[in-house]
Amino acid sequence: MTKIWSRQNLVPSTSFCERWTDSYQTVYLLAKLPTEGCPMPRDGTATRTAILDAAEALILESGFSAASVDRVIAAAGITKGSFFYHFDSKAALARALIDRFAALDHEKLDETLRRADALSDDPRQRMLAFVGLLQEEMAELTEPYPGCLFASYCAEAGLFDEATLQVVRDSMILWRERLGTRFANIARRHPPSIAVDPASLADMITVVYEGAFILSRTLREPQAVARQLAHYRNYLELLFPLDAQIRG
């Protein structure tokens, strides 16, 4: 996982406007920054990004229904004409936003798995390293995590079409399949101490994340997510003991 930027480090500049990071917290903070002094490329990419950033921050803060087009326009600092040049409706914005969020989520999953895989040849150690890397990122938070767009869409599922909701489902299934395969490999090499379904165990990290986000925001405890990931990692260590531990 990549560095999470603090408010003090986010200083608008030409280079900053061109920089993109896959940290969701950064997206949340970007929408709160002034856009003055940030030149817009002629292709309109920066304007479109500003709209998406503003919409994401508003949805995470108050929900999709409350994130009206007028509020998005005001937060992005653009004209209504600019908004409708890029998105012909709020539904189109919703789809583009979840597509972007899902792409970043998939990229983050792949990146973190690659980093974990480079640390060991043992599937158990790789998974422990994977969760540890996620935990380290969350431990850097200095304010409650803004939340997950997947959860926000699920909470107001009636406002979205099936194609948009399918993006959310596909993303959750991707985590289930990618991690489930790895848990199955771990079980073959390190038999679990109790019977366990690999796919369900993979789903557990999604459950931990989403529940921890709610806990963190409700109690205003930035470290809540990292602590829950630590519990998940400890559970995996106990569930898949080393051969020496079994013999002992």
Q: Which of 239, 153, 162 is nearest to 204 (CA)?
A: 239
Instruction: Please determine, for residue 167, whether its predicted confidence score (pLDDT) is greater than 80.
Output: yes
Q: Domains of the chain (ranges plus CATH)?
A: 7-91 (no CATH), 92-247 (1.10.357.10)
pLDDT tens per residue across span 27-37? 444 444 444 44
Q: What is the mean pLDDT of the chain?
A: 86
Instruction: Please determine, for residue 43, whether its predicted confidence score (pLDDT) is greater than 70.
Output: no
Per-residue pLDDT averaged across 210-223, rounded? 97
Instruction: Please determine, for residue 69, whether its predicted confidence score (pLDDT) is greater than 50.
Output: yes
Go through 112-129 and write b for each residue having 16 or more CB atoms within 10 A of its CB, e for each that does not.
bbeebbeeeeebbbbbbb
pLDDT tens per residue across span 136-161? 999 999 999 999 999 999 999 999 99
The proportion of the chain whose per-residue pLDDT surpasses 90, expressed as a percent, equals 80
pLDDT tens per residue across span 5-26? 333 333 333 333 333 333 444 4
Per-residue pLDDT averaged across 74-84, rounded? 97
- Which of 33-42, 60-69, 172-181, 239-248 shows the lowest per-residue confidence on average (mean pLDDT)? 33-42
Per-residue pLDDT averaged across 67-75, rounded? 98
Other CB atoms within a 10 A radius of the CB of residue 69 amount to 16
* DSSP letters spanning 89-147: SHHHHHHHHHHHHHHHHHHHHHHHHHHHHTT-SSHHHHHHHHHHHHHHHHHT-SS----
Please report the sign of the dihedral spanned by the C-alpha atoms of residue 93, residue 102, residue 66, residue 18: negative
- The phi-psi region of residue 221 (left if phi > 0; otherwise alpha if psi is between -120 and 50; otherwise beta) is beta
pLDDT recorded at residue 44:
83
CA 3 to chain CA centroid, Å, is 14
Between CA 142 and CA 103 the distance in angstroms is 25
Per-residue pLDDT averaged across 232-243, rounded? 95
Between CA 37 and CA 234 the distance in angstroms is 48
